[in-house]
Amino acid sequence: DAKTTQPNSMESNEEEPVHLPCNHSTISGTDYIHWYRQLPSQGPEYVIHGLTSNVNNRMASLAIAEDRKSSTLILHRATLRDAAVYYCILRVGATNKLIFGTGTLLAVQP
Amino acid sequence: DTGVSQNPRHKITKRGQNVTFRCDPISEHNRLYWYRQTLGQGPEFLTYFQNEAQLEKSRLLSDRFSAERPKGSFSTLEIQRTEQGDSAMYLCASSSAWTGLSETQYFGPGTRLLVL
């Protein structure tokens, strides 16, 4: 299974940008990079995904390295409601399942 | 609310009993997934359906586990002869197959199972 590596935890201050890194050195050409987050006592929630180019949506931005071996999820202004576990996942072309790691626990301080 | 729903939200049972969980996906979604999550871990894939066909099962899904999606709409996950190690959050997700490799899965709130 395609593997990603993320820091176990990160801290941020409210209203400051947060950059959540992910390494995926074994990525292949057709693998999509997906990010989900899980708030306490809830199911995971889709955040953003990309293949090669940087992506923006209303929740976040995704910056993908030129060699695609790493990516960064950017929350432009963290709020207390962004405190969650953030999962970086490779969607491998041959399978539909999501392979979750342990993710990054983001704490947001007021 | 047109999201994924799961029932019950919580279930406490005694070891050896059978339990059944239900998942109602987003109505136009033809794919349905089951995952299991234990404390401090990310969700682990159990199985998935496309319409009524069960297309993949994890090795985690022992003989005591069975999942069905009889009419390609709602799904049930049954655990027979529950064991304490089955205590976990059981998550259901749905998606549309028509979006290809950029497919997004939408998760329900989960059913938390505690086996005493």
Q: What is the pLDDT of residue A98?
A: 87
- Nearest 5°: the CA angle B103, A67, A26 is 65
User: pLDDT-based confidence at A93, cuts 50/70/90?
Assistant: low
Which residue in chain B has the smallest CA separation from A85?
A: B42
> In angstroms, how far apart are the furthest CA atoms of chain A?
43
**Contact yes or no for A93 and B101 at CB 8 A:** yes
Nearest-Cα distance to chain B for A37, in Å, is 10
Give the whole-angstrom CA distance, residue B70 versus residue A37: 31
Nearest to A101 among B42, B58, B106 (CB): B42
**Contact yes or no for B93 and A103 at CB 8 A:** no
Q: What is the pLDDT of residue B112?
A: 97
Least confident range from A34-38, A61-65, B26-30: namely B26-30
Which residues in chain B touch residue A34, judged by CB atoms under 8 angstroms apart? 104
- Nearest 5°: the CA angle B23, B26, B31 is 75
Cβ neighbors of A94 (< 8 A, separation 6 or more) are none
**If you average pLDDT over residues B28-51, what whole number do you get?**
93
Per the CB < 8 A criterion, the answer to whether A24 and A32 are in contact is: no
Say if A9 is an interface residue toward chain B (CB within 8 Å). Answer: no
User: What tens digit of pLDDT does each residue of B72-100 get?
Assistant: 899 999 999 999 999 999 999 999 877 66
User: pLDDT-based confidence at B8, cuts 50/70/90?
Assistant: very high
User: pLDDT-based confidence at A90, cuts 50/70/90?
Assistant: confident
Question: Taking the mean position of all CA atoms in its chain, how far away is CA B52?
Answer: 14
Nearest to A91 among B41, B101, B109 (CB): B101
Give the whole-angstrom CA distance, residue A81 versus residue A14: 10
User: What tens digit of pLDDT does each residue of A18-59 get?
Assistant: 999 999 998 888 888 999 999 988 999 999 999 999 999 999
| Distances, alpha carbon B63 to alpha carbons B8, B17, B57, B86, in Å | 23, 15, 11, 13
